[in-house]
Amino acid sequence: MCLLCNDESAYLAYMNYLDAMQRQGETADPEKAMGAVLDQLEKVAAAKPVAPEDDKTLSPFFCSPVNK
């Protein structure tokens, strides 16, 4: 649950998933719920383009353009 405590969007997605399961009359398994939420968040992150200045995977020695 540490992921949920540190990331508000993950917590919101988890709670929305649980609410949706309750509306369908099903009980949600916490492990399956976490997996579904993480999959959903990964899809959203993959669809969003990453600006070079926000890309944390770049090498510290990579020269990215400076926004003026």
Using the predicted structure, report yes or no on whether residue 64 has a pLDDT greater than 80.
no
Q: What is the share, in percent, of the chain residues with pLDDT greater than 70?
A: 65
- For residue 13, how many other CB atoms are within 10 A of its CB? 19
Burial letters 18-50, b for 16+ CB under 10 A, else e: eeebeeeeeebeeeebbebbeeebeeeeeeeee
Q: What is the pLDDT of residues 30-42, one digit of tens each?
A: 788 888 888 888 8
pTM of the model: 0.54
- Give burial (CB, 10 Å; 0-12/13-18/19+) of 5: exposed
Yes or no: say if 15 and 4 are a contact pair by the CB < 8 Å rule. no
| Sequence ranges of the domains in the chain | 2-54
